[in-house]
Amino acid sequence: MDVLLEAQDLKKHFGALKAVDGISLSVKKGEVLGFLGPNGAGKTTTMKMLTGFLAPTSGQAIACGETISTGNVAARRRIGYLPEGAPLYGDMTTRDFLAFVAAAHGIEGGEARDVVESAAGAVHLHSVMDQRVETLSKGFKRRVGLAAAILHAPDVLILDEPTDGLDPNQKHEVRRLIEAMSVDRAIIISTHILEEVDALCHRAVIINKGRIVADGTPSELRARSKYRNAVTMLVPRSEAEKAASAMKSIRMVAKVEAANEGDDVRLTVLARDGAEISDSIGDIAAVSNWKVRQFSVEAGRLDDVFRQVTEGR
């Protein structure tokens, strides 16, 4: 129900290179899909097919019932797109540029002024409206690109690395904006910043070598990590070795990792097959009377899952 964007077995081959090799996905209304993968995995190529810039070698993509192709203008009307690196016409002022994009979407006159103003307001561009785009900072340029992508109120938003190159404050702001827009749209963002997935995405798809290798909610993906249910604790260096060997003897413990932190050692106890080990570890620590500080249970690490599925570790 309410699937706004759908890809069916998309393939793109450049000669012998299979840049995208059979990707199927669907994004529902209100959903933010994180599109992850190492550099060169085919993220950008997939997005170029989803926006009708590239024609797929085979398979098809559909936005709001319209088949996306290089010739179908109607499909492109439903899509807002921020290409990688947010290319803009540097010689125009922000206002002129946004007005041009509005006109390209067939919005003109007073209505055009309104949508330009409201899109500019949404990403806080008012202070630079009459400045030439090429004189703007990177953060502002990215926001101009975002404003251009959203001004026609598209049902589907496709953002290729929207926060790439922004500082942490700007990243936060862009994420908040995407979140606010997600209510009645389908959004795909590509990124290789994993914290973004936690901060923003309802679902994440990881691709590698042009194929989907993982698909699930951030928590589901995290659960596949070897750090699932791992226990982390800080113990004094004098007790670390003893504690580590004691815990290794527990049957449910797979491995103990140690890292020095000043006079303390951070022990990370990995559970075998993600079993619940926190209670037993806690009991042992209490009985043995170790001076444990900071005791926490991990939900799993996305970066670990990412490496696991893209490098096969």
Partner 1 sequence: MKATLTIFRREFASYFATPVAYVFLVIFLVMQGLFTFYLGQFYAREQADLVAFFTYQPWLYLFLMPAIAMRLWAEERKSGTFELLLTLPIPMGSIVVGKYLAAVAFAALALLFTAPIWITVNWLGSPDNGVIFTGYIGSLLMASAYLAIGSALSATTKNQVVAFILAVTVCFLFLVSGLPMVVDLFSGWAPEGITLAVANFSFLIHFDNLQKGVVSFADVFYFIAVIAFWLWVNRVVVESKREAG
| Residue placing its CB nearer to partner 1 in the complex, 104 or 286 | 104
| Residue placing its CB nearer to partner 1 in the complex, 79 or 269 | 79
Number of amino acids touching partner 1 (CB under 8 A): 32
- φ/ψ (deg, to 5) at 157: -115, 130
CB 22 within 8 A of CB 8: no
The least distance separating partner 1 from the CB of residue 70, rounded to whole angstroms, comes to: 7
Give the number of other CB atoms < 10 A from CB of residue 160.
23
The least distance separating partner 1 from the CB of residue 170, rounded to whole angstroms, comes to: 20
- The reply to whether 55 sits near partner 1 by the rule CB under 8 A is yes
- The reply to whether 48 sits near partner 1 by the rule CB under 8 A is yes
The least distance separating partner 1 from the CB of residue 88, rounded to whole angstroms, comes to: 7
- The reply to whether 59 sits near partner 1 by the rule CB under 8 A is no
How far apart, in whole angstroms, are the C-alpha atoms of residue 39 and residue 16?
19
- The reply to whether 261 sits near partner 1 by the rule CB under 8 A is no
Q: Which residue has the tokens 């990881």?
A: 206
| Residue placing its CB nearer to partner 1 in the complex, 70 or 137 | 70
Subset of residues 111 to 130 that bind partner 1, contact rule: CB under 8 A: none
How far apart, in whole angstroms, are the C-alpha atoms of residue 89 and residue 256?
54
The least distance separating partner 1 from the CB of residue 176, rounded to whole angstroms, comes to: 24
DSSP label of 245: H
Could you give the string, one character per residue 74-113, with x where binding to partner 1 holds by CB under 8 A and - elsewhere?
x-xx-x-x-x-x-xxxxxx---x---xx-xxxx-x-----
User: Of 2, 14, 17, 286, which one interacts with partner 1 (CB under 8 A)?
Assistant: 14
- The reply to whether 259 sits near partner 1 by the rule CB under 8 A is no
The least distance separating partner 1 from the CB of residue 230, rounded to whole angstroms, comes to: 43
Give the number of other CB atoms < 10 A from CB of residue 218.
21
The amino acid occupying position 306 is F
Burial letters 229-248, b for 16+ CB under 10 A, else e: bbbbbbbeeebbeebbebbe
Contact residues for partner 1, defined by CB under 8 A: 14, 48, 51-55, 70-71, 73-74, 76-77, 79, 81, 83, 85, 87-92, 96, 100-101, 103-106, 108, 148
